[in-house]
Amino acid sequence: MKEKYKKDTVSRNKALLLVACIVFLAIACVLKIYSDRTGKNLDLYMILSLGAMFYCALFPFWTSEFTADDNAVTFGRVFRKKIPYSSIRSIDIQTEKRTYRRDRREYSYVAEIITFHCEDGDHSFAGMVEPSRKSLTYIQGSTGVTSEDKANSAFSRLKYFIESKRYL
C-alpha cells in the first residue's frame, strides 16, 4: 500500500517559527554590519535562519507519502521514519477543524492526525482530509468534508490495512 497525502503539522504554530527566524535574521544582519569582528558562527546562524524561512515558505506545497509493506510502514519524502509493525501497540486517529487566513478571509479545513503508540514512544503524522467530489456543496463555515470522507481518508485506510493484517 503506497499513498501520497497533503502534509500538515501536528502542532499548529508554524507562524511563530517564521516570525522568530525573521527577527533572528534581522538581528544577525545588524550585528554582522556593525561588528568589527565577523564570526563564522554568525554566518552559520544566518544560514540556518534562512533555511528555516525557506522551509516555512515551501511547507504549504509539500506533499508526503507513506508506504506500507508486510513488515513496516515508512513515512516521509525527505526524512524517512520507518515503524515496524512488531513495535506498534495501538493506533489512534484524530480529526480536528483548523482555520487559516488568506486575503483577509478565513478558510477552514480538516486535519487528520495519526498516532502510532510504539515501544519506543509515540509517533504522530498529520495530513489534510480532502473532500470528495460529491460532498463539495459549500455551506458558509463548512469544510466540505463528510464522515464518509474521513472514513475513506489515507490514514483511515492505513489503519484498516495494518489491523486487517492482524499485526495489532
Instruction: Mark whether 143 and 119 lie in a shared domain.
Output: yes
Percent with pLDDT over 70 in the chain: 70
Residue 92 has pLDDT above 90, yes or no: yes
Give me the number of domains the chain comprises. 2
**With pLDDT > 90 as the criterion, what percentage of the chain qualifies?**
6
**78 and 159: one domain?**
yes
Q: Work out the burial of residue 58: count CB atoms within 10 Å of its CB; fewer than 13 is exposed, 13-18 middle, 19 or more buried.
A: exposed
Q: What is the pLDDT of residue 128?
A: 82
Q: Are residues 71 and 91 located together in one domain of the fold?
A: yes
Q: Which residues of 104-138 are buried (b: 16+ CB within 10 A; e: fewer)?
A: eeeeebbbbbbbbebeeeebebbbbbebeeeeeee
Q: What is the pLDDT of residues 95-135, one digit of tens each?
A: 888 877 778 888 778 888 899 999 889 998 888 887 766 55
Per-residue pLDDT, averaged over 152-162, amounts to 88
Q: Are 129 and 112 in contact (CB under 8 A)?
A: yes
Do 89 and 143 fall within a single domain? yes
In this structure, the answer to whether residues 28 and 102 fall within a common structural domain is no
Burial of 75 per CB tally in 10 Å (0-12, 13-18, 19+) = buried
- Higher per-residue confidence, 89 vs 18: 89
Residue 40, φ and ψ in degrees, nearest 5: -70, -25
**Given a cut of 60, is residue 140 above it in pLDDT?**
no
> Which of 59, 80, 95 marks a domain boundary?
59
> Which has more confidence, 133 or 162?
162
Q: Are residues 50 and 28 in the same domain?
A: yes
Looking at the fold, whether 106 and 140 belong to one and the same domain comes out as: yes
CATH number of domain containing 113: 2.30.29
Bridge partners (DSSP) of residue 72 are 84
CA 167 to chain centroid: 26
Asked if residue 135 and residue 54 are part of one domain, the reply reads no
Q: For the segment 46-70, what is each residue's pLDDT rounded down to a tens digit?
A: 777 777 777 767 766 667 788 888 8
Residues 139 and 153 in one domain: yes
Widest CA span of the chain, in angstroms? Answer: 66
Q: Are residues 71 and 143 in the same domain?
A: yes
Residue 149: pLDDT over 90 = no
pTM, two decimals, is 0.67
Predicted pLDDT at 50: 77
Residue 90: give the domain boundaries. Answer: 2-8+61-164
Going by their DSSP bridges, the two strands 81-84 and 105-118 should be labelled as: unpaired
Task: Say whether both 105 and 67 belong to one domain.
Answer: yes
Does one domain contain both 50 and 68?
Answer: no
Say if CB 13 and CB 48 are below 8 A apart. no
